[in-house]
Amino acid sequence: MFQSDLLQGQNILITGGGTGLGRAMAERFGGLGAGVGILGRRPEPLEETAGAISGAGGRAAWASADVRDPAKIAAAVDQMEGELGPFTGLVNNAAGNFLAPSEDLSPNAFDAVVQIVLYGTYHATMDLGRRWIERGGGGQILSIVTTYAWMGSSFVLPSACAKAGVLAMTRSLAVEWATYGIRSNAIAPGPFPTEGAFSRLAAAGFENEAKKMNPLGRFGEESELADLAAFLFSPMATYVNGECVVIDGGEWLKVGQEFSKYTDIPRDEMKAMMRAMKPKKG
Residues with a known catalytic role: 148
Contact (Cβ atoms closer than 8 angstroms) between residue 88 and residue 141:
no
- The verdict on 113 binding ligand COA (CB under 6 A) reads yes
Q: Which of 86, 138, 193, 196 binds ligand COA (CB under 6 A)?
A: 196
Chain positions 63 to 82 lying near ligand COA, rule: CB under 6 A, are none
Three-state DSSP string of 241-263: CCCEEEECCCHHHHHHCCCHHHH
Of residues 138 and 196, the one with the C-beta less far from ligand COA: 196
Residue nearer to ligand COA on the CB measure, 105 or 178:
105
Closer CB to ligand COA, 76 or 84, in the complex: 76
Asked if 96 touches ligand COA (CB under 6 A), the answer is yes
237 counts as binding ligand COA under rule CB under 6 A: no
Q: Are 185 and 167 in contact (CB under 8 A)?
A: no
Whole-angstrom distance, CA of residue 129 vs CA of residue 229: 19
Per CB under 6 A, the list member of 95, 118, 141, 232 interacting with ligand COA is 95
Q: What one-letter code names the amino acid at 198? A: F
Q: Compare residues 97 and 125 and give the one whose CB is closer to ligand COA.
A: 97
Residue 97 binds ligand COA, judged by CB under 6 A: yes
Residue 48: alpha-carbon gap to chain centroid: 21
Selection from 15, 22, 130 nearest residue 76 by Cα? 15
Residues that bind ligand COA (CB under 6 A): 95-98, 100, 105-106, 108-109, 112-113, 196-197
